[in-house]
Structure formats: C-alpha cells, structure tokens
C-alpha cells in the first residue's frame, strides 16, 4: 500500500480538531470527551495510530461509550445534542487513530462535518465561525491533496505547491459564496433566533448572586474583566462611562458574618412591578451573558418593572416567567446560560416620592443589629455623627469619615470572627462589602433605617449600548429617607467602585466584545427583517435628514455614487493591467488577431481555400503551385508562426506593413484576373 | 473550396454555457450531499443562522468544485500515443499524450470512450505548456480490431465529491493480437524441398558466429565439417553456429472455423509462430484469404500476429470498402 502523504494526514487531523473546537467552544461537552479528543489529536499529529492494530477493541470501546452516553441521556444528566456531539467526537478520535486509508479519511471528514453542524446547535459564539472556516480550509486542502495523491503514480512526489494555489482561490470563493448565501437566502420564519452564547470553555459563573453576602475573603472578582451584561438604554444617555448602579437585590438582616433576607419567594408573573411607574421611565433591554451565571435580574437603580424575559437554553429559546423574592430581588424561573429581558427604572431625577412596598417583617429588619455587635461600633457612629438627625446627612458624614480614614484593599487574608470590627478597628482596610456593611450598620446603630444593596457599578459604552463586567460587581447602601424612600449612598471610595482589572486586558476584551457584538447582530440574530431592510436600502436609499432637505438640492449624483464609480474604475484598471502583464499572453493574442485580419482580407478577396485549410496549408499550396500571392503570403505566414509559437512577437507597425503588402498583392491579383473574366464573359453574353 | 462557416452565435453560446460534460457523484460526494441536505433541513427547521452559514459553505464548496473541475478540463489537448503491442486478455501498456496551454490540471484519469478496453491511466498534475505521456495498463477482452471513438478524461479535482468527464473525439483503431498462450499441438513437420530462392531444406546451415565444434553425427550434412580441425583431431568435426538448424514451417488456418474454434486456433497459431520464430526458424502463414511467405525475426512475428488479428474482421479492414487489397506482409 502506498504510504499516505504526511501533510495530508496532518491537515485532516487538524480539520477534525477545528470541527471538535466548534463544539468545544460551547463549553457544554463533558471534560472526559475533551480530554480524550485532545489526547487523540496530539497522538495523531505525532503520527501515532494506537488503534491501527486493535480496530475491534476500539470499536468495542466506542460501543461502551455509546451505551454510557445513552444512559446519561435517558437519566436526564446530559442533553441529547451534547451526547450526540460527544459521540461524534469519539468516533472522529477513533478514526484518526486507525490506519490511515481512504475509508478512514472519508469517515474522519464526515464526522468532522457532523461535529461542525453539532457546534452550530450548541454555540453561537464568534469563535464558532473561526472554527468553521478553519475546518473548511483544512478539510478542503486535505481532500484536494488526497485526490491528487491518489492519481500520482507510486514513487512520484505530490505537487503540494501547485495544488495549494488554485485551491486557496477556490476556498476563498467558497467562503465568499457562503456569506452571499447567508445574506441572500430568504429566512422563511420571522421568529427565528439563533443560539445564544454558551458558557464557553472555562467560563465559571463569576458574578452570580447567592442568597447571602458573607464578609471576608479576597475580592478576586474585582479583577475579572469578563462581560456579564449588555444593555441598550432608551433614551440613550450617550455617555462613554455610565457610572450607574445596577442593582440586583438588597439584604436586610446581618448576623455579624453575613447578610441575608428575612422574606422568601413571593409571586411569579411574566412581569413584576416593584414600584409605581411614572411617565419618564428609563427602558433597558438587557442581555445577561453566560459569564453572569445567575438567575437574578439586574436593572439600573431604581428598578420599577422587570419582565418579558427570554431564556436561551442549549435546546432553544424559551419565554421565562420571573419570580419576586425578598429584598426586591427578581429571578428567572428557568435556568439557562443566558437571558434577555426588559427592565424599566426610575430616572435619576425622579426617584423621590416613590418607595418600595415592604413587608412588615422587612421593615422591622431595617434597624436590626447583630446580637453580638461590638459596642465600639455604635460609639464610633455616635462620635462621627455628633447628634445628626437627618438620615441622608448622617450617611454623608459617615461616608466622608470612612473614605478618609479607611483604605480600599482586595488583599484580605484569613477569616475573622467579627469581620466588621476587624475592618473598623483592626485592619482599617477592606473592599466594597466592608464599606457598605460598615455604613449600613453604623446608620442602624443610630436609628436610621438602612439596608445593603448588591449589583454592579459602571457601564462602558460599546456599539450603541453599555456593557458591565464581572469586575464591576459592587455593594452599597440604601438609606431610608422619610418622604423619599430609599436613597443610594456609597461608602466605597469612588475610584474603587468599578472593575480593577488590567487596562490592557480590558481594552483587548472590549475589542473582542465589539467584534462579538457585530457577530451577534449580523449573524446570530440575522433575520428576514434584516434582509428586508437590506433590500429596501438597496432599492430605496435612506432618506436625507430633515435639515438636509432645506438646503439647496443638487442634481449631481450623491457622493457614494462617485466613490463607487471610482472604486469600479480602479478595479477595472487593475484587472486590465494584470491581464496586460501576463507573460506570453499578449503576443499570442496579437498574433491571433493578426491571423484573423489576414483571414478576413483573404475572404474579402475571395481567395479560393479548401475547407478547414489553415493559413500555413494555403501558403504551402500556393508556393507549390507558383501562385502570385505566394510571394506576399510566405513572409507573412512565417512571421505569424514565429509570433504565435516561436516567442518572437510582431514589432510595432509590422503587422500593418505585412497586411498592406498582402492587400496590394490581392489587388494586383484581382486586377490580373479581371481581364480574364471579361474575356470569358464576352462570348457567353453573345451566345445568350 | 469555401471558407468554413462559423456556427451561429446562439449555438456558440449554448456550447459555451452547456459544454459536453458528464457529471457523476462519487461515494464521498453522496455522503456529502446527504449531510448537506440534512444541514439544510436543520437550518430551515430550527432557523439557526449558524446552520445557514454552514449550509452556505457546503453549497459554495459544491459550486467551487464544479468551477475548478471545469477549469481543469478546459484547454486540454489529448492525442493517442498508442501501444507497442496489444494482446487479448492480457494487460498491455497504452499511452496518451496530454497537454494544456494555460493553467494546471490535476487528478486526470484517461480512458478510451465507448470501447471494450478496460483500464485507465491517471495523471496527478499537468503543468501548463507541458505535454505529458500518461501510461495505462489496458486489457482487451478479445482479438481483433477495436474501434476507438474518443478519449475520456475524468477528474475528481478538487475535493473528490464529483467526477466530471469530458470526451475528446478522436477516431482510431487498435488492433488486438490473439491471446498469448501455450500451443498444445506441435506445429507439424518442417517444410522439405526447395522453396523459392532458398536451397534444399536438407542443407540447412546455421547462422551467426561459430559457437564450437562437435563430432559429426550420422546423417548430418557433410558440408559443415571443419576439415582442418578434423584432420588435426583425426575424426570428423562439425561446425556449430549460434543459430542452428533453421528450418521453415508453414502454419495454416483451416477455412470455415468460426466462434470459439476460430479463436482457439488463432491463439494456437500465434503461440506456435512465436515459439518457432523465437527458435530462429522461418515461419509462414496460410490463411483462407491470403498467405504470408515464410520469414524469420520479430518483423515476421508482428506480421503473423496482425494477420491473425484481422481474421474474421476482414470487412473492417482498411481498404475493404473500396476493394483494395490489404497488404499481406
């Protein structure tokens, strides 16, 4: 058997790896499947085919794996799509490790194709597109090399370089064709929604909300730059940095170690109204990404209404109801990697006079203190407030004190039995939870109702909306002001409220997010509506803005028409230059044109020619017969043949000179024949 | 004597748009199409845009495959180089010369179209402006002239999903000799008596250089005695030459044989002629319609094989229609 080309096998294995990657980027495949395939890929790239001699054993192992996957599927531990994709990965691994023959090659490519299709069902990430293109390119190269390799005789080298050039152009056309098909093929269903972001590889939920907030530990989340939330605001604030509080929930009970809520689950509805609405609500269309990892809805401070939620599960997109919990928390009833919902918040200037209706138990907890609260806490509060009776003023005094005398740090090693006293009197340094807890408890010791709020602080501008990162997770305080309701106060130093991640990392991720957002808008969420708008734009360009209509109208074409014409002209010029520079092409074409003109002259002069008689044959015949035209035709034919096949192009004006000579010879021949014809025609006329 | 008429524009356009090609789907291609169909159904059913993207890529690859294979088959020039000798039911080397003016050709498979010849020759890469000879081991099922109508060039380039074929119209004839085998019967007795300008067959002399001397056996030709050496040795010594005892056989094909009997007899005659000519003898052939004079050497072997190959196919022989006789030797 002919030894297969190593490069082809490497390309085949890499194509299978790219196809597996298209599934793996979803983060839903089991770890053992990832490990098995990666190990197989590494071994295959090292040309180690472990199951080449144990085909039956490996088939048996595949059968066992299929049974195990089936059991997991029936027990509900695994999704059907995930199970199918995992099994496809195992089959591909088995084929890659077997003897590389044509059957194994075909089956590897087939499973690769199935894995890519499975990846489309699992993931909506942009990395899927990269894996898809990588698979298309690598598999095409491998297939093409296999086709040529099969036709090359034994012992002869496979012309790899010669194959790559036309094939790379073909693959580029295929990618362009795929994009064109994607854009133009009509979507037959208006309600189509593609898969949303899957959790991704290594994407542990980093900003999830739990039922408690426990003081202590390092604040590692502040350095996490992953985006957890995207929001589009209406009306758009049009600020680069939103610097707003995105509240998730509040806590009313503190036991000295952790914050909890006294109230539990309450009503479930499609939309929960927390506060009475006003006419000027701030609308938010929020998308919670897989990195968020929780079920709590987030909204700008102060939320009024939340709902119309859609859960993007691995098996599809479903509408989800929401449930109200204590502390104003609203949760999705469905568990999914990502969600989309709508929220309405009170505008910053219109928050007075609106208060959240609290249960009696919740109201009672707003002044509750831990049983074993250090007495120095109350003494400190009394000393700082110095008899202040107005809640908001008291809060501001405490904030000024905390920000002046306490430092912000994320390095908090070890656990303390009384973390609040440890923060206030020992370390005098902490992160947002310490500052917020301290402010809340200090206020409560002096009879001011307050509670802890958690969520995010920030919001960076991106592609017309705002993104919030995991590092923007934050805690602050709500102080109850009579007549105004809860007012947000924050003791954390302002410079440490937002994400503390590396600036470079944030910039890179912002760029990725921008591209990802384009990907989602242009590809994942592409719909018939987009197609319709695209067609409308092409057929009827967008109208000018109102102010433009008042200006003087011009009859000249718009600027884009000029630009398009210039671009087309440039392309035509470049193509013309390229064609003109092709070696050997121009002389041949010139010689052929010359031959056409000679043929045309001969045809006009009615020179007798046999059917399919070439110019060479005609000249040879005339020379043999001593025809007068041979004198003109012989040098002409010789120059044509030299120009056409001998690499000696016709000089400038030479063609005209030869044609003129031929024309004169044809005229002389015609003149010579004319008297003969007259002589022959005379008697005939008389006879008639 | 008029200039060739150019085909009308519509005919040329039709020929350009629908070139004479045949397309078949390979085994890999069938699987590919089934998967593409499945992905298309999945895309339409679920509305998953990524499946639409994948479907677009798969369909584009089909189009690209068609375009690249068409480019591979265009501007191709094929001519037959032919075979040295073709024997029935036995692989023989056959050659075509392929060239392109511009552009590369890949994975070309050449074969004879609409002929009983089995086998193909393949070429991995055909660079532009170069004529390459493609060799194939063909096999013919039976003896006789095989009419060749055209050369079939097939390519599975670029992805092996489809096999596109173009047939180059090339008229020709391949003469297939009788099958080479073993002769079960002896060729019979050699000719005796004077034949033409040759002397008595009893006085057959060897040819070639002197190979050695041996004692003259009873009944052997006394003219081959080396007298000087015999005198020195005191006994009669005969000169031995490289080719000894060249005799003349006249093989004959009985008239009236048809079908398998004719085939078997032709094969037997071919084997006997081959055996005798290989031993250096002269062999002639008597056929029902004409006769080959006895001669020796490879040329005679070829003439005998050609004559045997044409037996039963005289109507298809060149010159048969206009009545001119085909040269016998």
pLDDT at A217: 59
Sheet strand arrangement including A322-324: A268-269, A322-324, A330-332
Select the residue of B52, B56, B102 nearest A177 (Cβ to Cβ).
B56
B104 CA to chain A: closest CA distance, Å? 8
The reply to whether residue A120 touches residue B53, judged by beta carbons under 8 angstroms, is: yes
Task: State the CATH number of the domain containing residue B89.
Answer: 2.60.40.10
Q: Of B219, B245, B271, which residue is a domain's last?
A: B245
- Whether residue B163 is found in the same domain as residue B51: yes
pLDDT of residue A144: 92
State how far residue B44 is from chain A, nearest Cα, in angstroms.
7
Return the residue of B nearest to A583 by Cα.
B102
- From the CB of residue B275, how many other CB atoms can be counted at a distance below 10 Å? 16
SS3 A385: helix
The answer as to whether B131 is a domain residue is yes
User: How distant, in Å, are the alpha carbons of B86, B184, B217 from that of B191?
Assistant: 30, 20, 22
Q: Is residue B50 part of a domain?
A: yes
Domain annotation covers residue B39: yes
In sequence order, the β-bridge partners of residue A305 are: A273, A344
CA distances to A268, B43, B85, B238, B308 from B90, rounded to whole Å, are 86, 54, 11, 44, 17
Q: Any CB–CB contact under 8 A between B63 and chain A?
A: yes
Say how far apart CA B207 and CA B227 lie, in whole Å: 19
Contact A476, A347 (CB under 8 A): no
Structure confidence at residue B219 (pLDDT): 67
Q: Which two tokens stand for residue A412?
A: 């908090």
Closest residue to A148, CB basis, from B4, B27, B107: B107
Spatial separation of the C-alpha atoms in residues A468 and A298, rounded to whole Å = 11
Strands B162-177 and B86-87: parallel
Closest CA to A173 of B59, B320, B147: B59
Chain B residue nearest residue A612, CA to CA: B4
Quote the pTM value: 0.65
Contact between B61 and B69 under an 8 Å Cβ cutoff? The reply is: no
- Distance separating alpha carbons of residues A117 and A136, to the nearest angstrom: 12
Facing residue for B1 by CB, picked from A106, A117, A610: A610
Is the N-terminal amide bond of A243 cis, ω within 30° of 0? no
- For range A584-607, the mean pLDDT: 80
* Whether A116 and B48 lie within 8 Å, measured CB to CB: no
Say how far apart CA A178 and CA B50 lie, in whole Å.
11
Q: Say if CB A36 and CB A16 are below 8 A apart.
A: no
The residues with which B76 forms a beta bridge, in sequence order, are B100
Q: Which candidate, A95, A111, A82, A326, places its Cα nearest to that of A209?
A: A326
Q: List, in sequence order, every residue forming a beta bridge with A465; answer none if it has no partner.
A: A462
Helix (H, G, I), strand (E, B) or coil at B124: strand
Residues listed for chain A: 688
User: 141-170 in A: which are within 8 Å (CB) of B?
Assistant: 143-144, 146-153, 156, 158-159, 162-163, 165-167, 170
Q: What does the block give as tokens for A2?
A: 């002919």
First to last CA, chain A: 87
Q: Does the distance separating the beta carbons of B48 and A177 come in below 8 Å?
A: no
Residues of A in contact with B65 (CB under 8 A): 170
* A373 contacts: CB under 8 Å, gap ≥ 6: A256, A420, A441, A445
Whether B49 and B111 map to the same domain: the answer is yes
Let me know: does A322 contact A296? Beta carbons within 8 Å: no
Query: What's the domain count of chain B?
Result: 3
Q: Report the distance separating Cα A124 and Cα A196, nearest Å.
A: 5
| Residue A676 confidence (pLDDT) | 63
Tell me, yes or no, whether B70 lies in a domain. Answer: yes
| Nearest one of A365, A386, A327 to A449, comparing CA atoms | A365
Contact B214, B237 (CB under 8 A): yes
Q: Are residues B35 and B138 in the same domain?
A: yes
Alpha carbon distance A167, A149 (integer Å): 15
Do B89 and B161 lie in one domain? The reply is yes
Q: Which of A346, A347, A367, A342 is nearest to A356 (CA)?
A: A346
Q: For testing the chain A interface, which of B54, B134, B157 should be mutated: the one with the most A CBs within 10 Å? A: B54
Query: Hey, how many other C-beta atoms are within 10 angstroms of the C-beta on A459?
Result: 26
- Spatial separation of the C-alpha atoms in residues B106 and B65, rounded to whole Å: 13
Is the separation of the CB atoms in A394 and A388 below 8 Å?
yes
Residue B10 domain-assigned?
no
- Asked if A147 lies within 8 A of B106 by C-beta distance, the reply is yes
Domain co-membership, B230 together with B109: no
Residue A20: predicted pLDDT:
95
CA torsion through residues A279, A280, A286, A292, sign: negative
Final residue belonging to a domain, choices B245, B275, B302: B245
Over residues A454-458, mean pLDDT: 89
pLDDT of residue B62: 93
**How do strand B248-252 and strand B282-286 relate by DSSP bridges?**
parallel
CA distance A650 to chain B (A): 20
- The bridge status of strand A258-260 relative to strand A282-288 is unpaired
- Alpha carbon distance A394, A274 (integer Å): 27
Same structural domain, B105 and B148: yes
The tokens describing A120, both together, are 């489309």
Residue A378's closest CA among A450, A441, A428? Answer: A441
Which of A91-105, A497-511, A634-648, B273-287 has the lowest average pLDDT? Answer: A497-511
B3 touches A: beta carbon within 8 Å: yes
pLDDT of residue A202 exceeding 70, the answer is no
Token duo for residue A30: 């089991």
The minimum CA-CA distance between A452 and chain B, rounded to whole Å, is 43
Q: Do A147 and B67 touch (CB under 8 A)?
A: no
Percent of chain A with pLDDT over 90: 23
Same domain, B150 and B22: yes
* Burial classification of residue A171, based on how many CB atoms lie within 10 Å of its CB (0-12 exposed, 13-18 middle, 19 or more buried): buried
Same domain for B148 and B29 = yes
Judging by beta carbons within 10 Å of its beta carbon (0-12, 13-18, 19+), is residue A236 exposed, middle or buried? exposed
User: Do B209 and B329 fall into the same domain?
Assistant: no
**Residue B321, pLDDT score:** 44
Regions of chain B short of the pLDDT cut 50: 1-3, 197, 202, 321-329
Instruction: Tell whether B313 is within 8 A of chain A (Cβ).
Output: no
Q: In whole angstroms, what separates CA A119 from the centre of its chain?
A: 14
* DSSP string over A405-453: H-EE-S---S--SSHHHIIIIII-EE-HHHHHHHHHHHHHHTT--EEEE
User: Nearest C-alpha of chain A: how many angstroms from B121?
Assistant: 9
Question: A611 vs B4: CB contact, 8 Å cut-off?
Answer: yes
C-alpha distance from B39 to closest chain A C-alpha (Å): 7
What chain A residue is nearest to B156 in terms of C-alpha separation?
A147
Q: Assess whether B269 and B325 both reside in one domain.
A: yes
CB B239 within 8 A of CB B216: no
Return the C-alpha torsion angle B187, B188, B189, B190, nearest 10: -20
Q: How many helices (H) and strands (E) does chain A have?
A: 20, 20
Contact at CB, A106 and B28, closer than 8 angstroms: yes
Q: How many of the other CB atoms lie within 10 Å of CB of A596?
A: 10
Taking residues A595-613, what's their average pLDDT? 86
**Which among A610, A638, A640, A611 is positioned nearest to A625, based on CA atoms?**
A610
Could A151 and B64 be called an inter-chain contact, meaning their C-beta atoms sit closer than 8 Å? no
Q: Write out the DSSP string of A441-492.
A: HHHHHTT--EEEEEEEEEEEEETTEEEEEGGGEEEEEEEEETTTEEEEE--S
Residue range A265-316, pLDDT digits in tens = 788 888 888 887 777 888 999 988 877 888 899 999 888 889 899 888 766 6
Residue in B249, B243, B252, B272 with CA at minimum distance from that of residue B189: B249
Find the domain containing B218 and state its range.
Answer: 205-245
- Name which of A151, A174, A187 is nearest B122 (Cβ-Cβ): A151
Q: Which of residues 357-386 of A touch B (CB under 8 A)?
A: none
Q: Which of residues 591-610 of A touch B (CB under 8 A)?
A: 599, 603, 608-610
**Domain boundary, last residue among B220, B245, B270:** B245
B228 domain-assigned = yes
Residues B155 and B238 in one domain: no
CA–CA separation, A418 and A376 (whole Å):
12
The Cα–Cα gap between B204 and A81 comes to: 91
> Which has the closest alpha carbon to B97: B138, B149, B132, B123?
B132
Checking if the pLDDT of A521 tops 60, the result is yes
Region A499-503 average pLDDT? 69
What the block records as the tokens of B250 is: 């006249």
CA distance A410 to A430: 7
CB pairs under 8 A between A and B: 175
**Contact in structure between B288 and B271 (CB atoms under 8 Å):** no
Chain B residues near residue A182 by CB distance under 8 angstroms: 49, 52-53, 56
Instruction: Tell me whether residue B150 is in a domain.
Output: yes
B193 belongs to a structural domain = no
CA distance B317 to chain A (A): 28
* Separation of CA A208 from chain center: 24
Average pLDDT on A481-508 reads: 80
- Give phi and psi for A126, each to the nearest 5: -70, -30
- pLDDT at residue A459 is higher than 70: yes
Handedness of CA A390, A391, A396, A401 (dihedral sign): positive
Q: Does B28 touch chain A (CB under 8 A)?
A: yes
* Longest Cα–Cα distance in chain A: 149
Beta bridge pairs of residue B96 = B80, B134
Question: Are residues B93 and B136 both part of a single domain?
Answer: yes
A625–B contact, CB cutoff 8 A: no
Name the average pLDDT for chain A: 82
Cβ–Cβ contact B60 with A under 8 A: yes
Q: Which of residues 191-210 of A touch B (CB under 8 A)?
A: 191-195
CB spacing of A158 vs B108 below 8 angstroms? no
Does B55 contact chain A (CB < 8 Å)? yes
Residue whose structure tokens are 């790379």: A168
Cα gap B56→B40, rounded to integer Å: 9
Distance CA(A145)–CA(A100), nearest Å, equals 14
- Over residues A568-579, the pLDDT tens digits come to 999 999 888 877
Which residues of chain A have a CB within 8 Å of the CB of B110?
none
Minimum Cα–Cα distance from A584: chain B residue = B102
Residues 67-96 of B with CB under 8 A from A: 67-68, 71
Tell how far CA A10 is from the center of its chain: 27
Beta pairing partners, B252: B286
Please report the pLDDT score of residue A630 as a whole number: 87
Shortest Cα–Cα distance, A645 to chain B (Å): 11
């Amino acid at each position: 058997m002919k030894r297969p080309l190593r490069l082809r096998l490497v390309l085949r294995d890499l194509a299978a790896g790219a196809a597996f990657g298209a599934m793996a980027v979803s983060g839903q495949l089991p770890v053992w499947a990832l490990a098995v395939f990666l190990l197989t890929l590494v071994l295959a790239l090292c040309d180690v085919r472990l199951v080449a001699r144990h085909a039956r054993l490996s088939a048996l192992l595949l059968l066992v794996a299929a049974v195990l996957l089936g059991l997991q599927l029936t027990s509900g531990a695994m999704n059907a799509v995930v199970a199918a994709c995992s099994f496809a990965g195992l089959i591909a691994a088995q084929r890659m490790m077997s003897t590389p023959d044509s059957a194994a090659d075909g089956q590897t490519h087939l499973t690769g194709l199935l894995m890519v299709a499975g990846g489309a069902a699992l993931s909506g990430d942009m990395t899927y597109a990269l894996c898809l293109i990588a698979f298309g390119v690598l598999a095409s190269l491998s297939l093409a090399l296999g086709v040529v390799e099969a036709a090359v005789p034994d012992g002869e080298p496979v012309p790899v370089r010669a194959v790559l050039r036309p094939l790379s152009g073909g693959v580029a056309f295929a990618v362009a064709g795929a994009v064109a098909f994607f854009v133009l093929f009509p979507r037959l269903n208006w309600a189509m929604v593609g898969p949303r972001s899957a959790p991704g590889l290594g994407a542990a939920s980093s900003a999830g909300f739990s039922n408690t907030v426990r003081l202590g530990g390092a604040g590692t989340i502040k350095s996490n730059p992953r985006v957890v939330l995207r929001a589009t605001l209406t009306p758009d604030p049009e600020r680069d940095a939103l610097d707003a509080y995105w509240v998730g929930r509040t806590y009313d009970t503190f036991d000295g170690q952790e914050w909890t809520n006294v109230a539990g689950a309450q009503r479930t509805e499609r939309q929960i109204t927390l506060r009475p609405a006003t006419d000027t609500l701030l609308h938010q269309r929020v998308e919670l990404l897989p990195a968020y990892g929780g079920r709590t809805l987030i909204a700008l401070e102060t939320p009024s209404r939340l709902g119309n939620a859609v859960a993007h599960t691995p098996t599809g997109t479903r509408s989800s109801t929401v449930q109200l919990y204590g502390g104003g928390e609203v949760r999705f009833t469905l568990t999914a990697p990502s969600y989309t919902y709508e929220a309405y918040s009170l505008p910053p200037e219109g928050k007075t006079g609106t208060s959240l209706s609290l249960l009696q138990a919740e109201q009672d907890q707003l002044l509750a203190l831990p049983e074993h609260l250090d007495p120095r806490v109350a003494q400190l509060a009394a000393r700082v407030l110095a008899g202040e009776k107005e809640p908001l003023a008291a809060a501001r005094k405490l904030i000024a004190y905390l920000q002046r005398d306490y430092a912000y740090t994320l390095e908090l090693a070890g656990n303390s039995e009384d973390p609040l006293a440890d923060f206030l009197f020992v370390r005098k340094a902490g992160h947002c939870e310490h500052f917020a807890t301290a402010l809340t408890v200090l206020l409560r010791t002096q009879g001011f109702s307050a509670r802890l709020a958690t969520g995010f602080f920030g919001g960076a501008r991106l592609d017309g909306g705002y993104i919030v990162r995991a590092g923007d997770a934050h805690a602050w305080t709500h102080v109850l002001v009579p007549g105004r309701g809860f007012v947000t106060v924050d003791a954390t130093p302002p410079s440490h409220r937002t994400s503390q991640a590396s600036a470079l990392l944030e910039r890179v991720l912002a760029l990725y997010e921008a591209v990802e957002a384009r990907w989602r808008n242009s590809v994942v969420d592409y719909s018939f509506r987009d197609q319709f708008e695209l067609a409308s734009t092409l057929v009827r360009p967008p109208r000018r803005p109102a102010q433009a209509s008042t200006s003087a109208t011009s009859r000249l074409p718009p600027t884009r028409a000029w630009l398009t014409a210039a671009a087309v002209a440039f392309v035509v010029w470049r193509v013309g230059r390229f064609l003109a520079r092709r070696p050997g092409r121009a002389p041949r074409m010139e010689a052929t044109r010359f031959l056409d003109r000679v043929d045309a002259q001969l045809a006009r002069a009615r020179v007798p020619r046999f059917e399919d008689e070439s110019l060479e044959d005609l000249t040879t015949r005339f020379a043999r017969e001593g025809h007068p035209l041979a004198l003109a035709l012989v040098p002409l034919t010789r120059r044509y043949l030299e120009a056409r096949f001998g690499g000696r192009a016709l000089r400038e004006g030479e063609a005209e000179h030869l044609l003129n000579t031929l024309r004169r010879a044809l005229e002389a021949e015609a003149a010579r024949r004319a008297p003969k014809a007259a002589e022959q025609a005379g008697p005939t006329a008389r006879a008639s | 004597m008029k200039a060739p008429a150019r085909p009308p524009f519509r005919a040329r356009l039709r020929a350009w748009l629908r070139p004479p090609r045949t397309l078949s789907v390979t085994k890999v291609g069938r699987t590919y199409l089934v998967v593409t169909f499945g992905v298309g159904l999945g895309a339409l059913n679920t509305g998953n845009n990524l499946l639409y993207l994948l479907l677009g890529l798969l369909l584009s690859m089909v189009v690209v495959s068609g375009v690249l294979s068409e480019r591979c088959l265009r501007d191709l020039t094929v001519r037959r180089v032919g075979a040295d000798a073709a024997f029935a039911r036995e692989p023989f080397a056959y050659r075509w010369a392929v060239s392109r003016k511009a552009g590369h050709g890949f994975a070309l498979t050449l074969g004879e179209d609409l002929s009983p010849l089995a086998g193909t020759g393949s070429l991995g890469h055909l660079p532009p402006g170069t004529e390459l000879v493609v060799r194939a081991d063909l096999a013919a099922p039976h003896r006789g002239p095989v009419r060749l109508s055209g050369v079939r060039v097939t390519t599975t380039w670029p992805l092996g999903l489809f096999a596109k074929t173009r047939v180059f119209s090339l008229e020709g004839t391949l003469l297939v000799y009788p099958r080479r085998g073993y002769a079960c019967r002896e060729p019979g007795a050699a000719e005796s008596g004077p034949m033409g300008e040759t002397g008595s067959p009893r006085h057959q002399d060897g040819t070639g250089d002197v190979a050695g001397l041996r004692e003259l056996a009873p009944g052997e030709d006394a003219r081959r005695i080396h007298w000087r050496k015999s005198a020195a040795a005191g006994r009669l010594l005969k000169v031995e030459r490289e080719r000894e005892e060249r005799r003349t056989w006249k093989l004959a094909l009985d008239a009236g044989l048809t079908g398998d009997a004719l085939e078997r007899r032709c094969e037997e005659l071919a084997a006997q002629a081959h055996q005798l000519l290989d031993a250096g003898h002269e062999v002639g052939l008597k056929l029902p319609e004409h006769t080959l004079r006895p001669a020796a050497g490879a040329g005679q072997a070829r003439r005998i094989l050609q004559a045997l190959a044409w037996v039963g196919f005289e109507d298809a022989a060149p010159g048969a229609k206009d009545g001119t006789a085909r040269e016998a030797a």
